Amino acid sequence: MDAREFKRFGYECIDWIADYLEHADRYPVLSRAAPGGIRGRLAEESPERGEPMEDILADFHDIVLPGITHWQHPRFFAYFPATTSGPSILGELLSAGLGVNAMLWQTSPAATELEETVMGWLAGLLGLPEGFKGVIQDTASTATLCALLCARERATDFGVNENGFLQGGGALRVYTSTEGHSSVAKGARIAGFGARNVVSVNVDGSYAMDPADLKRCIERDLAAGHRPCCVVATVGTTSSTAIDPLGMIGEVAGRHGLWFHVDAALAGSAAILPEKRWILDGVERADSFVFNPHKWLFTNFDCSAFFCRHPDILTSVFAIQPEYLRTDLDPQVVNFRDWGIQLGRRFRALKLWFVLRYYGRDGLRELLRAHIGLAEEFLTWVERNPDFELMAPVPLNTVCFRFNPEGSSLSEERLEELNGNLMNEVNASGRIFITHTKLGGRFCLRMSIGQLRTTKRDVAEAWEILEKSTVVQGWKG
């Protein structure tokens, strides 16, 4: 593709993206594709000869777009936000244009030094204590796996890395709450702890980890000859954004010499708000911490910020020095390939730098406050309607609720069926997309607010669609 052709189609794509982001609500938010429906329209083999860009882009519109669920739609209220933004896209575009592999300092000094700088900025924004050093990972799952590997190695005097798993002694145990994210269990499997050695700690009435139960679990394990190794606390659980009490958990972890990792994948962003900084109270006791700018800090996927208080442990676990990667400058510089699993690394710091500079601290705070305000407003509508029930506290942007008609005394099974039907009906409308979870075994709907373009009108529309659904109205009729 020569420069002229690149410019022509490049401008066309930028025009299209700009228009798309302004009007993403023209599309049904949840894709209506049936399984196999997209695949069936794609060529079975790659083309023998090159095809014109016009044809490729035409197929993007005709075939690919109908199979897209629109995460940037202002009424995408499912799972968690994954909001992109103009500055982020431009940073991503330039990064793609440069095509840099940021594996070593030498392979692009600016990529490494920008990453060190923006991670320092983020640490400042979140009020992380001195000593936390940051590295960008692809996802929180990877960051948590890195933390688990560090915990494992510290607990075995770097023995598993060196000798493999054939060691004596009791099983290494990992603790997270019953509301902890599945990435902890997955990471524990991958890191060789074994699924059975992930201990589920009870939660309190607000779905936050109960530190007293953590203490009990650890003591029980010690008595049984196990080796407690790592605690993963969650700030903003996936189901309901419950906030684990970091101070008390850190105290228990510290007393037993456990690695203390904090998973704040979604909610960490909210710590940039002075009035919400309390969510990280106690983080000074943590050994590592992760949050995802790709969730709620307007930086497109992927961009996960991982901070570790012991970069020496991190690099002892991950550094490996084949001759072909050595450079004379190694003693003076950071080589981020030694800070995680991958060798090759994308230049993600660029888009994050663009976002942090374009919006500024005040701009980012304003956006987050607006989302939290909308969630609080939605919560009041739920509370005011006697046929709906609030299912968990709302510290941030996510409201868990369900339809539970007043005076009906329906069984949990019937409520699950009714709310499942309600969710499917409103999602089929194409106008909103919400998802569900279970809290304490009870089925509930989730409204997660965090899109850049979501307004009060969108949230009000969601509530109206729910209230006017045939499930709700049919019950009354």
Q: Which stretch binds ligand PLP (CB under 6 A): 44-52, 133-141, 244-252, 360-368?
A: 133-141
User: Cis ω on the peptide bond leading into residue 302 (within 30° of 0)?
Assistant: yes
Burial (0-12, 13-18, 19+ Cβ within 10 Å), 49 = exposed
Residues 238, 299, 300, 451: which binds ligand PLP (CB under 6 A)? 238
Q: Which stretch binds ligand PLP (CB under 6 A): 50-58, 61-69, 232-240, 465-473?
A: 232-240
Query: How far apart, in whole angstroms, are the C-alpha atoms of residue 371 and residue 374?
Result: 5
Q: Does 400 bind ligand PLP (CB under 6 A)?
A: no
Q: Which of 107/141 has CB closer to ligand PLP? A: 141
Contact pattern for ligand PLP over residues 37 through 56, marking x by CB under 6 A: --------------------
Q: Which stretch binds ligand PLP (CB under 6 A): 69-77, 116-124, 263-271, 410-418?
A: 263-271
- Strand 388-390 and strand 398-403: the pairing is antiparallel
Q: Which of 265/368 has CB closer to ligand PLP? A: 265
Footprint of ligand PLP on 279-338 (CB under 6 A):
292, 304
Q: How far is the CB of 302 from ligand PLP (least distance, A)?
A: 7
Query: C-alpha angle with apex 244: 241 to 247, nearest 5 degrees?
Result: 145
Query: C-alpha angle with apex 290: 441 to 213, nearest 5 degrees?
Result: 45
Query: How far apart, in whole angstroms, are the C-alpha atoms of residue 413 and residue 82?
Result: 32
Q: Does 265 bind ligand PLP (CB under 6 A)?
A: yes
Query: How far apart, in whole angstroms, are the C-alpha atoms of residue 340 and residue 308?
Result: 11
Q: How far is CA 426 from the centre of its chain?
A: 25
In the numeric block, the tokens 């060691």 are attached to 167
Contact pattern for ligand PLP over residues 52 through 81, marking x by CB under 6 A: ----------------------------x-
Q: Which of 189/216 has CB closer to ligand PLP? A: 189
Q: What is the DSSP string of 57-115?
A: HHHIIIIIGGG---TTSTTB-SSS-----HHHHHHHHHHHHHT---SSSTT-HHHHHHH
Residues 213, 263, 287, 458: which binds ligand PLP (CB under 6 A)? 263
Query: How far apart, in whole angstroms, are the C-alpha atoms of residue 345 and residue 135?
Result: 11
Q: Does 271 bind ligand PLP (CB under 6 A)?
A: no
Q: How far is the CB of 217 from ligand PLP (least distance, A)?
A: 20
Q: Which of 269/469 has CB closer to ligand PLP? A: 269
Contacting residues toward ligand PLP, per CB under 6 A = 80, 139-141, 181, 183, 234, 236, 238, 263, 265-266, 292, 304
